[in-house]
A and B are shown apart, each in its own frame.
Chain A
Amino acid sequence: MTVATLKTTPERLLARDRRALARLITWAENAHPRFPGALREIYGHVGRARRLGVTGPPGVGKSTLCNGLVSCLRERGSEVGVLAVDPSSPFTGGALLGDRIRMESHTKDPGVFVRSMASRDSHGGLARAAVDACDVMDAFGFDELILETVGVGQAEYDIVSAADTVIVVLCPGAGDSVQAMKAGLLEVADVLVVNKNDAPGADRLVSDLEDAVALRRESRDGWTTPVVRSSAGRGLGLEDVLAAVEQQRTFLGSAGLAARRRKMRVAQVQRTVGELLVQALWSDGCRVEFIKTALASGRPPYDVADEMRDQIL
């Protein structure tokens, strides 16, 4: 047995062992009983990496853009961790995780780590363990983290409480700017990217989005969201996207960043407390019985709920 096998998995992570990195993400994903303890051990090393979120409707080129951004960041000497989330089937629970195939060129680069994750039972565009996985990659020592969400529709914004900066990717032909506004995508965007700039309709989409941004009375933190063009499929416009991200980071400053991160952690703890309480609440079968009995006696649902709340609190 080598010395390495004697160390614990968190120790090996901090010693930059990539197997430990992969395994800790698995623990997070499976809510393994050892994960909270492992996170405790590495948490002091979390917080250095910049977290860039990439979201947008299905097929707009998010993964292709991520692939290009990784290349640009590597040229600047940054080490990059990528977490790419794809949807689980609500019927079978299975998933085809297809984001990685767009980033295959980075597989052999030791400065890059790509992990695919299924959304499982989360419906906010990320997986439940996405933030945990980012914490693990952060503690490992990556400079930059990129999180790709599932292709979003009209109400999936978990990315806002997981990333320091959010890029919303759109492309001509995948819905117009009105749909993007309706979906609230403009509000979550720190940077708007019109990808597939080579495709017909790009000019129109860019000018519509610029109008929409100008019309907004107040943007998040008072920052004016820029609209940037890219053709990620051809490797074009990637430096422009990164430049916009860097401007937003400068605008936010260290105080703005810290404030965002505090908010994210509060949201994470609140979410977790909610989950723990719900679990604890229904693990006691008597409560369900109480509800059944009360309803059977003809009482309306809100009265039953109120009484139950009063009993609990």
Chain B
Amino acid sequence: MQMTERKIRVLIGKPGLDGHDRGAKTVASVLRDHGMEVIYTGLHQTPAEIAEAAAQEDVDVVGLSILSGAHMTLFPRVREELVSRGMGEILMVGGGIIPAEDAETLRNDGFARLFGPGTNTDEIAEWIATEMKQRFEEEGDDQ
């Protein structure tokens, strides 16, 4: 068998109670347009549900979006759920209205990048693509 070009698989999750998923859907379709395979799990997911879906789907990236302001409780809980499933190495990014000091805390807590509301979506896609390309090269056949 010949190894096929490795696709980047991304899960976009919306933990918590806010009902606004336009941003999440926009990002999902922009990532798709950049050649990624994107799973959007829908509104009102618990951290455990998002992590379990990410584990079953064996995604390379988890992106979370929250607009309600609950990111400081929910983002780290998703991360804990992922770690407990042996997925601590996964690339995690977040989006929403996140003040600078919160962003700093989250970055120390395993979130590689946090994107504010005005971020250009193509930039998000390009950043993820570059980051994953490097990771895939480091992994080689050792995935």
Q: Which A residues contact B (CB, under 8 angstroms)? A: 18-19, 22-23, 25-27, 30-36, 88-89, 92-98, 100-101, 104, 107-108, 113-116, 118, 120, 279
Min CB distance B15 to A, Å, is 13
Min CB distance A131 to B, Å, is 13
Min CB distance A170 to B, Å, is 26
Asked if B40 is at the interface of the complex by the 8 Å CB criterion, the answer is yes
Asked if B78 is at the interface of the complex by the 8 Å CB criterion, the answer is no
Q: Which of B14-57 contact A (CB under 8 A)?
A: 28-29, 31-42, 45, 48-49, 52-53, 55-57
Interface range on chain B: under 10, 10 to 19, 20 to 34, or 35 or more?
20 to 34
Are A118 and B37 within 8 A (Cβ)? Answer: yes
Q: Which B residues contact A (CB, under 8 angstroms)? A: 1-4, 6-7, 28-29, 31-42, 45, 48-49, 52-53, 55-58, 85-87, 141, 143
Q: Select one of B55, B56, B141 contacting A34, CB under 8 A.
A: B141
User: With A32-B143, A34-B141, A89-B32 in contact, do A120 and B56 touch (Cβ < 8 Å)?
Assistant: no
User: With A31-B2, A104-B49 in contact, do A97 and B56 touch (Cβ < 8 Å)?
Assistant: no
Min CB distance A145 to B, Å, is 14
- Which B residues lie within 8 Å of A32 (CB)? 3, 141, 143
Q: Which residue of B lies closest to A27 (CB)?
A: B143
Q: Select one of A25, A31, A34, A114 contacting B4, CB under 8 A.
A: A31
* 17 further A-B pairs in the complex, CB-CB below 8 A; given A101-B41, A104-B41: A19-B85, A23-B143, A26-B143, A30-B4, A31-B1, A31-B2, A33-B3, A34-B141, A89-B33, A92-B34, A95-B37, A98-B40, A104-B45, A104-B49, A114-B56, A116-B39, A120-B7
Min CB distance A118 to B, Å, is 5
Min CB distance A261 to B, Å, is 22
Are B38 and A19 within 8 A (Cβ)? Answer: no
